[in-house]
Amino acid sequence: MSQFDQGHRARKRFGQNFLHDEAVIDRILRAIAPRPGQTLVEIGPGLGALTVPLLETAHTLHVVELDRDVIPHLQQSCAGKGELHVHQLDALKFDFASLAHGEDSLRVVGNLPYNISTPLLFHLLDFAPLIADMYFMVQKEVALRMAAAPGGGDYGRLSVMLQWRCAVELLFPVGPGAFRPAPKVDSAFVRLVPHAAPPVQIDDENVFSDLVRRAFSQRRKTLRNTLKELLDEAGIRAAGIDPGLRAEVLSLAQFAALANRAAAK
């Protein structure tokens, strides 16, 4: 792994792959379309490939960065470009509500480190009512799981939980060459827009989350086995669902029906 960009070495433990392709950066900026007055938050700004143009357009920008060594480079690159607020914290523990000014007030963007992208997405779901939209670069495999429909191998817990909270759109693929160092996998840029109203009624969010987790915990097993601690076969049938099915074929509405049945016990 070679040194580059102001002498900073990308760190594997932080999952750093710095974006450098100007055409990709321009396409990202056009998708986000930042405007002054918005509360814009960038996760993992790194050396500022996105940060600088975002700040120049939005004039004010919050960034959440764990690697303290990149912050001086970032501040130097952004000097005179606008008002940069640096939060040197782990994004997985960051309270995004601390930056919000009411519902739909945050716009969140980032080139997410591959090693934390899935738990970070789950963390952000806790703040969904405060978020207007989110734009992320993620591993292509994760993007396919985020947007997957029932019935395929990509469909799983992440698909269900994200689609309950957000509309998911795959915007465009990005090859390894757009990053330094180049990752060994393809990436994709995605947009998440939290639903103004949930697409399904969930009576108990904790039960729903637990049921979806259990249902996908052993993908090859049927619902009668994975959900037996929450619902017996009669309870699953009462929700209108065959206990012999596997989780990967159920729609969001069917998961909601099962969870609401379990919550009513």
Structural domains in the chain plus CATH codes = 12-194 (3.40.50.150), 205-263 (1.10.8.100)
Task: Output the pLDDT for position 16.
Answer: 57
Q: Is 82 helix (H, G, I), strand (E, B) or coil?
A: coil
Residue 166's SS3 state is: strand
Return d(Cα 40, Cα 29) in angstroms, integer: 13
Identity of residue 34: P
CB 73 within 8 A of CB 8: yes
Which residues fall within 8 angstroms of residue 173, CB to CB, at 6 or more apart?
140, 186, 187, 188, 189
CA atoms of 189 and 96, how far apart (whole Å): 21
Rounded to an integer, what distance in angstroms lies between the CA atom of residue 246 and that of residue 104?
36
pTM: 0.91
Each residue's pLDDT, cut to its tens digit, for the chain (265 residues) gives: 233 344 445 444 444 578 989 999 999 999 999 999 999 999 999 889 999 999 999 999 999 999 899 999 999 999 999 999 999 999 999 999 999 999 999 999 999 988 899 999 999 999 999 999 999 999 999 999 999 999 989 999 999 999 999 999 999 999 999 998 888 899 999 999 999 999 999 999 999 999 999 999 998 999 999 999 999 999 999 999 999 999 999 999 999 999 999 999 8
For residues 120-137, one letter each, b for 16 or more C-beta atoms within 10 angstroms of the residue's C-beta and e for the rest, the string is bbebbbebbebbebbbbb
Tokens 């640096």, located at residue: 86
CB 146 within 8 A of CB 138: yes
At 110, which helix (H) or strand (E)?
A: strand 106-111
